Amino acid sequence: MRSGASSGFAVMTLAFGIAASSAVFTVTDDVLFRSLPYPDAASLVVVTESNRKMNADRYPMSPADFLDLKEENAEFSHMSAYRRADYNLTGNSRSIRVSGAQVSPTFFRTLGSDALHGRTFADVGEVKVEVLQAVISYELWKREFGESLTQVGGAIRLDGRSYEVIGVMPAEFRSPIQADLWVPLFLERDDWRIRDAHFLRVIARLSPNVTVDQARMRAQAISQRLESIYIPA
């Protein structure tokens, strides 16, 4: 079943900005007390940057900012990035457009969600080589593949390239981004050094016994340190 960001995923926003001279370093509360379809949903947070010039408080993160915060913030047990990526799915003598997302290997682990059939992506760190694998939604599996278990481990063609289907998500799974399928996020090595392009949405799970305030304070400290390095006085 497809679902989008409007499903009430956001629990808390930690504003984090270091990318350019227009960035502003603030932390904003946005608590939504809702019942979410994830284990220990109260520990899930949405991490964003702020941009004064764009007047944006929930700005996507740059690749370099994401890596810096992920590597330095022990307050998060998992931290994952994702971005929209739609595809042409071809087969059975026809082609359809499907909504997709490129996600960090830990995306499903961050959400605390397992596959109904097969598995999700292996945690290999941020992908250094392109891996042509896909996890598909229950709705896509039912609609296009007749709920056939032979599709798990089989192949699909996305934009003319062959991807191995390694898993099918449960019908009740809800993603923070509307998607029929998910593939590993792949960026070239130099792309992970980019600070002035913001296109990654970020979710994180708090470490055990860590509060949102502690995570916010740590993110702000990292932001200030990186500001001193990368933003001219």
- Check whether 86 has a pLDDT greater than 60: yes
Query: pTM value?
Result: 0.83
Q: 137-150: per-residue pLDDT in tens?
A: 999 999 999 999 99
How far apart are alpha carbons 158 and 102 in whole angstroms?
13
How far apart are alpha carbons 192 and 190 in whole angstroms?
5
**CA nearest to 84, candidates 71, 103, 67:** 103
Confidence of residue 46 (pLDDT cuts 50, 70, 90): confident
Mean pLDDT across the stretch 180-209? 89
**CA 118 remoteness from chain centre:** 20
How far apart are alpha carbons 105 and 79 in whole angstroms?
10
Residue 23 or residue 172, greater confidence: 172
Mean pLDDT across the stretch 42-55? 76
Provide the pLDDT for residue 23. Answer: 37
Provide the pLDDT for residue 19. Answer: 45
Provide the pLDDT for residue 110. Answer: 92
Confidence of residue 27 (pLDDT cuts 50, 70, 90): very low
Provide the pLDDT for residue 91. Answer: 79
- Check whether 160 has a pLDDT greater than 90: yes
DSSP-assigned states of every residue in 60-121: PBPHHHHHHHHHH-TTEEEEEEEEE--EEEEETTEEEEE-EEEE-TTHHHHHT---SEE---
List alpha helices for the chain, DSSP H: 63-72, 107-111, 138-145, 212-230
Q: 161-172: per-residue pLDDT in tens?
A: 999 999 999 999
- Check whether 28 has a pLDDT greater than 50: no
Provide the pLDDT for residue 29. Answer: 32
